[in-house]
């Protein structure tokens, strides 16, 4: 998380947050997607990436992000996944169709859950292979509607302020569907590059102090956040290019 020691940068962030405060709402930000996790310690199935590429090429899936080589941010903890695939759909109906027609072809042993986007912002880095991806995993302990209030009032202004520094290229917070306490909320953070990620750590305290002083909802939720979720930890994921269309077409012929 970044904020500059330069007073002008503080004012820019504060101005952004003032505008953001007027725009915060409780509605979900986008149609449902699907999160596919390969459990930590499990080798990713060889057929997963070609399958994802095939769905994207056919139009069954609008977008796919594949993060591999999951590594915990802290050495004393296990990563939350060995690989993570984020599937985006143009509509809820498209997601329903995928679940019926395509999902059964996924290999066994994966954690596959439908998820709602609670907040998102920014655009993917121009050089995704240079980007640093961190996925923070939390377990909400309150119903989805209450957790969404927390996201709109606390998470969204936090990530928006981080993005305003220019170091965070994109953020998305997902909430998996299912029984409260048994499903997770995942934030996928895409930093521009390694230098941008390093800069965030140096400026974390300043940006939180600025939010506490300028965004009432952030200050209020900061006091009670531990009653709303079990705080997980971050997992680094390596951006992984899906097979090219030609390679997918050849695989489809062999199948």
pLDDT digits (tens, 9 = 90+) for 92-107: 999 999 999 999 999 9
Question: What DSSP element (H or E) covers 40?
Answer: none
Pair 253, 245: CB distance under 8 Å:
no
- Look at residue 146 and tell me whether its pLDDT is greater than 90: yes
Beta bridge partners of 104: none
Q: What is the pLDDT of residue 62?
A: 93
> 247: pLDDT confidence band, cut at 50, 70 and 90?
low
- Look at residue 134 and tell me whether its pLDDT is greater than 70: yes
**In the block, residue with structure tokens 């909400």:** 140
**Average predicted confidence (pLDDT) for the chain:** 87
Over range 222-248, report the average pLDDT. Answer: 90
- Look at residue 60 and tell me whether its pLDDT is greater than 50: yes
Helix segments in 59-120, DSSP class H: 92-101
Bridge-based pairing of strands 111-122 and 229-239 is unpaired
Q: What is the pLDDT of residue 22?
A: 39
Q: What is the pLDDT of residue 31?
A: 60
As a whole number of angstroms, the distance between CA 8 and CA 136 comes to 30
- Look at residue 24 and tell me whether its pLDDT is greater than 90: no
Helix, strand, coil share of the chain (percent; to 5): 40, 30, 30
* pLDDT tens-digit map of 6-18: 444 444 444 444 4
- Look at residue 219 and tell me whether its pLDDT is greater than 60: yes
Domain 7-245: CATH class, spelled out:
alpha beta
Q: What is the pLDDT of residue 253?
A: 52
Beta bridge partners of 115: 33, 176
Q: What is the pLDDT of residue 255?
A: 55
Q: Which residues contact 61 (CB under 8 A, 6 or more apart)?
A: 52, 55, 87, 88, 89, 98
Any idea what DSSP says for residue 221?
H
As a whole number of angstroms, the distance between CA 99 and CA 103 comes to 5
Q: Which residues contact 221 (CB under 8 A, 6 or more apart)?
A: 150, 153, 154, 228
User: The tokens of 35 are what?
Assistant: 């999160």
The region, left, alpha or beta by phi > 0 then psi within -120 to 50, assigned to residue 8 is: alpha
Q: What is the pLDDT of residue 222?
A: 97
Over range 237-242, report the average pLDDT. Answer: 96
- Look at residue 28 and tell me whether its pLDDT is greater than 80: no
As a whole number of angstroms, the distance between CA 192 and CA 170 comes to 9
Distances, alpha carbon 109 to alpha carbons 36, 82, 116, 238, in Å: 10, 12, 22, 21
Q: What is the pLDDT of residue 14?
A: 44
Q: Smallest Cα–Cα separation from 112: which of 104, 121, 123?
A: 104
- Look at residue 23 and tell me whether its pLDDT is greater than 70: no
Q: What is the pLDDT of residue 104?
A: 96
As a whole number of angstroms, the distance between CA 135 and CA 116 comes to 16
Q: What is the pLDDT of residue 198?
A: 96
């Amino acid at each position: 998380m970044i904020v500059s020691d330069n007073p002008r940068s503080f004012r820019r962030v504060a101005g952004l947050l003032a505008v953001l405060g007027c725009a915060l709402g409780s509605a979900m930000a986008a149609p449902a997607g699907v999160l596919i996790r390969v459990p930590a310690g499990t080798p990713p199935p060889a057929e997963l990436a070609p399958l994802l590429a095939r769905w994207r090429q056919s139009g069954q899936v609008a977008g796919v992000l594949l993060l591999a080589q999951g590594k915990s941010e802290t050495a004393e903890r296990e990563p939350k996944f060995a690989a993570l695939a984020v599937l985006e759909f143009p509509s809820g109906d498209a997601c329903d169709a995928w679940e019926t027609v395509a999902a059964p072809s996924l290999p066994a042993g994966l954690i596959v859950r439908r998820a709602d986007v609670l907040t998102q912002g920014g655009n993917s880095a121009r050089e995704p292979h240079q980007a640093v991806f961190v996925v923070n995993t939390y377990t909400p302990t309150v119903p989805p509607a209450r957790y969404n209030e927390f996201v709109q009032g606390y998470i969204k202004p936090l990530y928006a302020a981080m993005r305003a520094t220019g170091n965070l290229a994109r953020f998305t917070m997902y909430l998996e569907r299912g029984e409260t306490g048994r499903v997770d909320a995942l934030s996928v953070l895409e930093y521009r590059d390694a230098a941008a990620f390093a800069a965030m750590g140096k400026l974390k305290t300043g940006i939180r102090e600025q939010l506490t002083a300028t965004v009432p909802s952030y200050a209020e939720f900061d006091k009670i956040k531990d009653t709303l979720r079990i705080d997980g930890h971050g997992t680094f994921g390596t951006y992984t290019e899906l097979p090219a269309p030609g390679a997918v077409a050849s695989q489809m012929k062999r199948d």
